Amino acid sequence: MRALLFASSDDLAFEVISFLKYIGVDEMDSIAFGDRSKAAEYGRRGVKKVFLLRDIDEDAAVDAISTVFKGYDYLATASDKFGRTVAARVSQRMGFGAIMDVISAENREGKILFSRVTLGGKAVSLEHSELPVAIGIKPRKFEQAKPGEGEAEVEEIDVSRKIKILERREKKISGAALDKARIVIGCGMGFKSKDDLKLAYDLAELIGAAVGSSRPLAADLKWMPEERWIGMSGVSIKPDLYIAVGISGQQQHVAGITDSKVIVAVNTDPNAPIFKSADYCINQDLYEFLPALAAAIKRRRGG
């Protein structure tokens, strides 16, 4: 089987490579973004040929992939915003199917069946598509492919662009990245004001946690930046510990936290949906619980 892969970052691309090896793909090429030095790292992980684009850009990626995608069985990517958007546009343009949010796969009588999360994380569906097909691997479900021996051929691709990029500036991220944090505190509508979020930030500083939010706080109230939004349409997280504070637990939020090793939920409503997903349920007012927990931690540390 042959696959062409691409991703918004090298780390995600190396996860996709692991998945492709897992399902038995024996020939991989890749779209990569940047300079020629990229090719060496891809080659050491089993990629035979790297099609190089200078800048990461959705339109350029769609045009480049549509040009070189010939004779492949799979167009593989990470199922983040960039991957889903580009894969959808390419598959529509070229007339084949797409399966996103893949978490596993199995071979049944020579057919690869893909498992993907559905219904806001409440169910897993098993899906098959005729080849070729675009597949999006849920980020952080697979370890990055380890480097070994190998060398990739490089071909630079120059696509005509409708937009000229004059400058790129790195987006400033407030706080630790949610998708890499070992401990995450999620804040919901149980907080009565933006100033009250200080309770969560104070606890986070004590325990070394990153702070995120449910959709309403980030998308509607704008109390936190977009990269702090945890959920199906936001960031999917995989921490050792997730503390959901004042979050009701709607499906789109739960879909983004299902890979957490331990979930602690704090809510005044004993029937809050989040309790169904939690390992530990604390039916208490966050305004009482957070200061009490912070004080207990300080006492334990002798502070």
**Is-above-0.85 flag for pTM?**
no
What is the predicted pLDDT for the residue at 120?
63
What is the predicted pLDDT for the residue at 243?
98
Q: In what order do the strands lie in the sheet with 262-266?
A: 210-213, 183-187, 241-245, 262-266, 280-282
In this prediction, what percent of the chain has a pLDDT beyond 90? 74
Distant-in-sequence, close-in-space partners of 37: CB < 8 Å, separation ≥ 6: none
Q: Which domains does the chain have, with CATH numbers?
A: 2-156 (3.40.50.620), 178-300 (3.40.50.1220)
What is the predicted pLDDT for the residue at 140?
84
What is the predicted pLDDT for the residue at 242?
98
Residues of the chain under the 70 pLDDT cut: 120-122, 170-175, 303
Strand partners of residue 77 = 136
- DSSP element (H, E) containing 16: helix 10-22
End-to-end CA distance of the chain: 60
Q: Which amino acid is at 87?
A: A
